Amino acid sequence: MPAAVAQEPVALRQHRYFESHDVDDTCLRISTILQPHRLRPTRHSTRVHSHMDFIRFGGAVIGALDFGDEMDVIVEEMEAYYLFVCCLRGHAELNTMGERTTIGQNRGAVCIPGAHFSGRFSPDCEQIFLRVDRATLAAHTGVELMHFDHAMALDRPELSPWVSQFRLLATEPAMLQLAQRDERIAIEFERMLISLLLAGHPHRPLQEPAAPSLAPRAVRRAEAFIDAHACEAIRLADIAAAAEVPARTLLDSFQRFRSCSPMQLVRERRLERARASLLSAGPETRVADIALDCGFPHLGRFAGLYQQRYGESPSETVRRGRRRS
């Protein structure tokens, strides 16, 4: 980032989420804030010295992450959020949305929901990121899915107001505390960050989805496969194979005709089946068992997704189903 932004994020430092010396533990901890992914140390060692600081306000998260060693990161498909990332120090070579770019203090990168994200982070790299939920951006813009240019030139004058606002949140503890305490202020910070970003960085709404009846055969084959196997450990590659098209083609078709990605549909089907099971759960049935049966290996992540989708916790659904019975 520009020098004005690369100063120590003292506000974030007060919100240390974890420190770890184990790659697998690091991967698991990061997954609870971002999403499941793969970490591969380039030095073939499982010993690192990683840490992560983050704070959530409204539908946004600001965080700082240091892997503690040179690290390859692979995210097959971004979930329902936008990721804006650059470096407090060091650098990274990234592939986002099919484009390659180098990020550092003066250059960042963007990844949108449904897109691939991968890269190699230097041993001295500490990244700083902004995560914005897809629903949050849609609520402020009225656009269901926005496309951003993959590379962010952070020293461009047009982006200076956004950089300044981002820096303010990361470096002023009182500002972050206000956003945490008052939902109205959190919404205003969301609106300000999104508005300044749209004013300074190239973007465009993606094409509106066509009528469902016009969806190509590959999309319909993929949907049938997802309906039949949603609760199994399927990947994008499995769905593409069933649809008989390359994964990239399938992603593009889903965005155009369904305004979502195949893996987002998998998650939606899993949540629907979990809800049905929770509503009919017997007295001996555990929420953790239902989550696992429906394809959610991490109970905490399942609970968060479920709360976001249905506005109540899984245990509340179980109680409501038993009262109804």
Percent of the chain scoring above 90 in pLDDT? 50
Q: Find the range with the poorest average confidence among 81-90, 100-109, 277-286.
A: 277-286
- Whether residues 285 and 168 share a domain: the answer is no
Q: Is residue 206 scored above 90 in pLDDT?
A: no
Round to whole Å and give the CA distance between 214 and 226.
Answer: 19
Closest CA to 178 of 312, 58, 9: 58
SS3 category, 39: strand
Query: Residues of 192-217 as b/e, b for ≥16 C-beta within 10 angstroms?
Result: bbbebbbebbebeeeeebeeeeebbe
Q: What is the pLDDT of residues 15-69, one digit of tens each?
A: 999 999 999 999 999 988 888 889 999 876 666 899 999 988 878 899 999 999 9
- Whether residues 236 and 280 share a domain: the answer is yes
Q: What type of residue sits at position 33?
A: I
- Whether residues 126 and 269 share a domain: the answer is no
- Whether residues 63 and 155 share a domain: the answer is yes
- Whether residues 188 and 221 share a domain: the answer is no
Residue 90 belongs to a domain: yes
Between 310 and 131, whose confidence is greater? 131
Q: Is residue 107 scored above 90 in pLDDT?
A: yes
Question: Which of these three, 205, 235, 256, is where a domain ends?
Answer: 205
Q: What is the CATH number of the domain that holds 223?
A: 1.10.10.60
Q: Find the range with the poorest average confidence among 9-13, 24-28, 215-219.
A: 215-219
Q: Is residue 70 scored above 50 in pLDDT?
A: yes
Question: Which of these three, 205, 236, 258, is where a domain ends?
Answer: 205
Q: Is residue 303 scored above 70 in pLDDT?
A: yes
**Residue 36, number of CB atoms within 10 A of its CB:** 15
Q: Find the range with the poorest average confidence among 124-133, 151-160, 253-262.
A: 253-262
Residue-level pLDDT at 287: 93
Percent of the chain scoring above 70 in pLDDT? 94
Question: Which of these three, 151, 171, 205, is where a domain ends?
Answer: 205
Residue-level pLDDT at 50: 95
Residue 186 belongs to a domain: yes
Mean pLDDT of the chain: 87
Residue-level pLDDT at 324: 64
Q: How large is the average pLDDT for residues 113-139?
A: 91
Q: What is the pLDDT of residues 158-174, one digit of tens each?
A: 999 999 999 988 999 98
- Whether residues 169 and 311 share a domain: the answer is no
- Whether residues 161 and 22 share a domain: the answer is yes
Residue 3 belongs to a domain: no
Round to whole Å and give the CA distance between 288 and 303.
Answer: 10
pTM for this model (two decimals): 0.65
Residue-level pLDDT at 183: 77
- What is the count of structural domains for the chain? 2
Domain ranges, residue 126: 10-205
- Whether residues 185 and 237 share a domain: the answer is no
Q: How confident is the model at residue 4 (pLDDT cuts 50, 70, 90)?
A: very low
CB 257 within 8 A of CB 209: yes
